[in-house]
Chains A and B, each alone.
Chain A
Amino acid sequence: MSIILDKVNFSYSEGTAYHIQALKDVSLEIPDGQFIGVIGHTGSGKSTLTQLMNGLLRATSGSIYVDGEDIYDRDYNMKELRHRVGLVFQYPDHQLFETTNFEDVCFGPKNQGLDRKEVELRAYEALRSVGFPEELYFQPPFDLSGGQKRRVAIAGVLAMKPKVLILDEPTAGLDPAGRDEILGLVSKMHRELGITIILVSHSMEDVARYVERLIVMNRGSVMFDGTPKEVFPHYKELEEVGLAAPQVTYLMHELRRFGLNVDTGATTVKEAAADILRALQNEGQRK
């Protein structure tokens, strides 16, 4: 399922003292099946962007096409769109409300009007996909750890079988172990379910390892759009807007400045270490 944004603008509280232009002329194409990271700091417009994609917010101007259909057409089914473009919000506490985790995951499919059997089937499937421990299925969601809550929240949207899954800062407030687990899970879901995944984050280092495409947002506009290898060389510009490239990017650039012939496009620790070894070896041989 493809999403196309054409010159989309969005402002909050138009015509008041608190007027904020959250998005400025954003044009993007999200083809089927990509794993995309949307990066930007607070107020860059990244959350607004995600809420436009599933119709929770309506663009002030511009068009959004989902599978070729204009979602602002009068007879377009918005509710249906929200089933197809699933959005998981930052804090799972904002959506968990049922007496058990299982029942909570059922909420989405129930709203889709499916029969009870299908609803339960989907809930099981979704909880299994997110690796939620079976013994907790029928426990209340309020006592769970942050990471487990997050899983239930993701399952709650996954159960609606969306074609596109948007996760808004799914690692906020988690500790590093929890963060790695959730990011690993999202990556696994992308591989196994074959759906488009849009991961919103303010941490380059976290998403660089997983995504195939990075969209960097700044002040409501798309600043960079490309593979991590294409985006990170702009680390100086990124820094200016308060985003840092991964540490290894800086490391490689500094080594390069000292004349060591390393590949500045390395984005992970393993790549960087291997490349430094290679560069040192090469120098040795040349001599």
Chain B
Amino acid sequence: MIRDITIGQYYPADSAVHKLDPRVKLFATLIYIIALFVFRGIAGFAVITAALAAAVHISKVPLSYMVKGLKAIVILLFITGIFNLLFTPGDVVYWSMGPFKLTDTGIQNAVLMVVRLIYLILGTSLMTLTTTPNQLTDGLEKALGPLNRIHVPVHVIAMMMSIALRFIPILIEETDKIMKAQMARGADFESGNLLQKAKNMIPLLIPLFVSAFRRADDLAMAMEARCYTGGAGRTKMKPLRYNRRDAVTYLCILVFLALVVVCRVFLP
């Protein structure tokens, strides 16, 4: 069911990862993504795996819960795997038929890409699982603060993101309900070709949009009623302040980056 999607949803727990400054986590995620795309060899892979495993362990988010989040991208993984498997030229060809080839490089690439994607999702979802949307947007707002000077409305963007994240689960649940309401009237969301499928989505999308707009209206009014007037003059309930834990984590991130680079440069 749609409501099983866990990507982006906060998982409450009392862990060191949860308590980190969101800016640290943003930075860590960035470094992690870079590492994923530059690493080479078994050693590099081992470093990344160890780092990810350690982070997951410390975060107290059950691995099974995170793996469930992968369900949503199974198709993507599958397509990526198949494409890499069948379309990569290589030295040793095990099997071929027309344009399709199964080569040693292809197998290697397919495995690499699928693992990369899985690691990418696991790593980034770890950030959203341990950081409340508000902290995340606070972190972004603060990290991107300098952009304010060139008239980028950083606060507005951050607020929009935070609200979007808050409403994603609500809209997902709503989609589920609308789908059922239309299925009860014989609507069919599965069969037919692409065009038909798109057309079949109309009974789903229109009620969803109508409801989203109404929610937006209500929310705007509720925010106004609570004296929201934009970023100016606001104080923070949870202002971002670095402490020792954050400093140590920055250090760990740098060590991690160094290790990955070392593995790439010096090991086969």
Contact = CB atoms under 8 A, between A and B. Distances in A.
Interface of A: 13, 16-17, 51, 54, 56, 79, 82-83, 86-89, 91, 93-97, 107-108, 111-112, 142, 156-157, 160
Q: Determine which residue in A97, A107, A142, A157 has the highest number of CB atoms from chain B within 10 A of its CB, and name it.
A: A97
B203 A82 contact: no
Nearest to A51: B180
Nearest to A87: B184
A112 B188 CA distance: 11
Interface of B: 4, 62, 64-65, 68, 174, 177-178, 180-188, 202-203, 206-207, 210-211
Contact of A89 (B62, B180, B202): B180
Decide if the interface of chain A is mainly helix, strand, loop or mixed: mixed
A48 to B, nearest CB: 12
A79 B186 contact: yes
Contacts of A108: 185-186
27 contacts: A13-B4, A54-B184, A56-B180, A79-B186, A82-B183, A82-B186, A88-B184, A89-B177, A89-B181, A91-B177, A93-B207, A93-B210, A94-B174, A94-B207, A95-B181, A95-B185, A95-B203, A95-B207, A97-B202, A97-B206, A107-B186, A107-B187, A107-B203, A108-B186, A111-B186, A112-B186, A160-B186
Contacts of B183: 56, 82
Contacts of B62: 17
A156 B211 contact: no
A56 B178 CA distance: 12
Contacts of B211: 93-94
A150 to B, nearest CB: 13
B4 A17 contact: no
Contact of A16 (B65, B180, B184): B65
A216 to B, nearest CB: 24
Contacts of A91: 177
* Chain B interface mostly: helix
A114 B202 CA distance: 20
B181 A17 contact: no
A149 to B, nearest CB: 11
A97 B207 contact: yes
Contacts of B68: 16
B181 A94 contact: yes
B187 A157 contact: no
A82 B187 CA distance: 10
Contacts of A56: 180, 183-184
Contact of A96 (B4, B180, B202, B207): B207
A83 B206 CA distance: 23
A93 B64 CA distance: 36
B197 to A, nearest CB: 15
Contacts of A96: 207
Given A13-B4, A107-B203, A111-B188, A95 B182 contact: yes
B203 A97 contact: yes
A55 to B, nearest CB: 9
A86 B184 contact: yes
Given A79-B188, A94-B211, 7 more contacts: A13-B4, A54-B184, A82-B183, A107-B182, A107-B185, A108-B185, A111-B188
Nearest to B182: A95
A46 B182 CA distance: 20
Contact of A83 (B181, B186, B188, B202): B186
A79 B187 CA distance: 9
Contact of B185 (A17, A142, A156): A156
Contacts of B182: 95, 107
Nearest to A56: B180
A157 B177 contact: no
Contacts of B186: 79, 82-83, 107-108, 111-112, 160
A96 B182 CA distance: 9
- The CB with the most chain B CB atoms within 10 A, among A17, A56, A94, is that of A94
Contacts of B202: 97
Contacts of B174: 94
Nearest to B200: A111
Contact of B177 (A94, A107, A111): A94
Nearest to A90: B177
A56 B62 CA distance: 31
Nearest to B202: A97
B37 to A, nearest CB: 32
Nearest to B203: A97
B146 to A, nearest CB: 40
Contact of B187 (A16, A87, A111): A111
A96 B210 CA distance: 10
B185 A157 contact: yes
A160 to B, nearest CB: 7
B184 A17 contact: no
A46 B184 CA distance: 17
A13 B211 CA distance: 26
